[in-house]
């Protein structure tokens, strides 16, 4: 009871501090504290008979949250300015969107040809889980991985074009819809969830929304409902649901849910809460240090490709632990602990909070495609931090680099010249 009250108080304190210091709700500080405390609160509801968290794990989680908040506070405050105007060349941005559309279509076609050759087209109806499990070999390596990753900058650029032009064109509609198509083809829920989360923050920041109102709450509830329905629907398609015969043992022994609706939502609940006991179990198995191979995975993989590392780095171990249900994701803290021990659990969240807030403040002072898109993707990284280390993936690094060059090409630096679309996405 006291622990649950403490989590509610922590969210309230983060809300107050965020409003007081930044005059905004959609800050890295509040979002991080809110998502972690919400999942911890759900964990304490005990819909599943999870292993009880030990003191050292509770201290590690609390310490990482405090470190992240301190990093946010060290980053500074919003600068005083009369207003921030968003300048973008719509014709240039349209060309970029068209190129990204072609790249994404080419990636989907290549992936479909590969999966058809390996599994057959009928596998999408008879055994879709095989395609999902084979994604590592089919689409996560080589140039195809970069082409598939183009869907995020495509969705961001399409949304910004719609917001600036105030109308939907066919190429922007395609760019906004492609994440769901790619998620269907590649069997990846993240290909829908990440662009949807990041897109919501792009919308909030561009509109200059600073507080919670009925419209914002409706948008958030709609986005959450869409992700939840997609999650449950794809899970049903995979056969991964609590009512499936192979999960009957877990249902009767470990899941404290009996209603049909509760059982359908059992797996989304597990994804939100099972990471904490898995973190505890996985930390006990850590022997030695990896010294950045998890946290700096893209660099480590490039060094391996150049022959400078003998052992092939992996982004995560993904080993299953029975807690008591089988689970294989353990928050982003596990990779930090594997790399640098307890120091990593404190230092990295501090740096993440500082970098995310600095970029957020830069976006408010001078919004560009780069600052809007990268702030939004860092917010998605923060949301995902309670599940996996999204920030250490090739995709996120590629998104940041791609948005940097797109922004340089499409941003007009001088006001009132040429083809300039103006909005007021942020004011301080």
423 confidence band (pLDDT: 50, 70, 90) = very low
Which whole number is the average pLDDT over 279-304?
A: 89
Residue-level pLDDT at 421: 43
Q: pLDDT: is 322 or 83 the higher one? A: 322
The 10s digit of each residue's pLDDT in 125-149 is 666 666 666 655 554 556 667 788 8
Mean pLDDT computed over 199-208 = 88
Give the pLDDT of residue 57: 94
pLDDT of residue 121: 66
Share of the chain above pLDDT 90, in %: 39
| 110-113 long-range contacts, CB within 8 A, separation 24+ | 110/144, 110/147, 111/138, 111/139, 111/144, 111/148, 111/185, 111/186, 112/185
The mean pLDDT value of the chain amounts to: 82
* Residue 323: both structure tokens together: 């807690």
Confidence bin at 77 (pLDDT 50/70/90): confident
Q: Which residues contact 327 (CB under 8 A, 6 or more apart)?
A: 270, 274, 275, 277, 278, 320, 321
0.85 surpassed by pTM = yes
pLDDT, average across residues 329-349: 94
Residue 254 has pLDDT above 70, yes or no: yes
- What does the pLDDT average to over 405-423? 63
């Amino acid at each position: 009871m006291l622990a649950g009250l403490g989590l509610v108080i922590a969210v309230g304190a983060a809300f107050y501090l965020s409003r007081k210091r930044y005059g905004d709700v959609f800050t890295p500080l509040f979002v991080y504290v809110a998502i972690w405390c919400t999942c911890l609160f759900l964990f304490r509801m005990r819909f599943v008979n999870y292993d009880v968290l030990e003191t050292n794990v509770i201290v590690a989680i609390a310490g990482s949250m405090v470190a992240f908040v301190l990093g946010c506070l060290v980053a500074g405050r919003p600068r005083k300015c009369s207003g921030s105007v968003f300048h973008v060349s719509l014709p240039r941005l349209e060309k970029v969107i068209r190129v990204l559309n072609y790249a994404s279509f080419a990636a989907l076609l290549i992936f479909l040809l590969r999966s058809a050759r390996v599994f057959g087209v009928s596998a999408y109806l008879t055994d879709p889980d095989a395609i999902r499990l084979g994604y590592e070999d089919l689409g996560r390596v080589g140039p195809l991985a970069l082409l598939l990753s183009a869907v995020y900058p495509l969705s961001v650029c399409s949304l910004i074009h719609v917001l600036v032009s105030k109308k939907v064109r066919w190429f922007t509609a395609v760019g906004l819809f492609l994440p769901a198509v790619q998620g269907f083809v590649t069997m990846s829920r993240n290909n829908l969830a990440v662009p949807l989360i990041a897109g919501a923050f792009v919308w909030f920041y561009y509109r200059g929304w600073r507080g919670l109102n009925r419209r914002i709450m409706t948008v958030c509830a709609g986005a959450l409902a869409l992700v939840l329905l997609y999650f449950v629907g794809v899970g049903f398609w995979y056969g991964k649901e609590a009512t499936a015969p192979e999960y009957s043992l877990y249902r009767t022994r470990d899941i404290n849910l009996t209603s049909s609706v509760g059982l359908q939502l059992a797996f989304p609940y597990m994804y939100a809460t099972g990471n904490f006991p898995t973190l505890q179990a996985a930390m006990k198995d850590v022997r030695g240090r990896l010294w950045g191979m998890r946290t700096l995975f893209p660099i480590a993989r490039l060094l391996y490709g150049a022959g400078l590392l003998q052992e092939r780095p992996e982004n995560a171990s993904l080993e299953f632990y029975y807690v008591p249900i089988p689970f294989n994701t353990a928050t982003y803290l596990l990779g930090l602990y594997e790399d640098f021990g307890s120091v990593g659990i404190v230092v990295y969240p501090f740096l993440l909070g500082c970098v995310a807030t600095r970029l957020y403040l830069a976006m408010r002072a001078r919004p560009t495609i780069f600052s809007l898109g990268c702030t939004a993707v860092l917010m998605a990284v923060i949301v995902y931090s309670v599940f996996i280390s999204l920030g250490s993936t090739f995709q996120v690094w590629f998104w940041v680099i791609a948005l940097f060059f797109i922004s340089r090409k499409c941003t007009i630096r001088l006001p009132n010249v040429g083809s300039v679309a103006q909005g007021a996405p942020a004011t301080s």
